[in-house]
Amino acid sequence: MCFSLSVFQLFSIFSTVPRYRHPKNPWISNGRLIDLYLWARRKGWKLIHKPIGLLLNTDIDCPLPERLFLPHPFGIIVGTTSKLANDVTLMQQVTLGGKDPWCIDTDLSDDYPTLEEGVYVGAGAKILGPVTIGKWAIIGANAVITKDVPAGATAVGFNKIIPQDSSNITGKI
């Protein structure tokens, strides 16, 4: 009886976890395990989100938005004071971190990146330092970004920013 009660409780937890779809691309969504991880992380339930994070090698320490998409949630590292807006998509092996790990005496509260609404970060990308990535910008796979990226632009390689005309920044296709 005790085993069936715990299984029932586990299924009730899975059924209360909210599911979201990306507003521009309906094929982008989270799996059940990462939805459970994000839900437990928002609630502060370390007993659930720490083992899942260890299993996925994912460490997200910043405050989470309502809608965050991690389609392939393996090896994602997000720094403590990074700021993520809604509809941000982070692919596998993404790092959002500080630029100078040897600064001990300074305040590091603004040393992490800010990702605005709808940003897509490709696999293996590194965004380092106090940079702002504008709304609906795209960061290419394996890019290293240490400069601000304007809204709607695409960034690839090492800070190679390709601007886009400002007529389609609203997020609509």
Query: Can you tell me whether residue 36 is helix, strand or coil?
Result: helix
Q: Domains of the chain, with CATH numbers?
A: 27-101+109-158 (2.160.10.10)
| Neighbour tally for 149: CB within 10 Å | 26
| Cβ atoms within 10 Å of 158's Cβ, excluding its own | 12
Mean pLDDT for 87-113 is: 80
Q: What's this model's pTM, rounded to 2 decimal places?
A: 0.82
23 contacts 87 by C-beta, under 8 angstroms:
yes
Give the pair of three-digit tokens for residue 25: 């691309």
Average pLDDT over residues 18-38: 78
Q: Quick one: pLDDT at residue 8?
A: 52
Q: Are 86 and 67 in contact (CB under 8 A)?
A: yes
Separation of first and last alpha carbons in the chain? 53
pLDDT digits (tens, 9 = 90+) for 47-77: 989 999 999 999 998 999 999 999 999 999 9
pLDDT for 50 equals 92
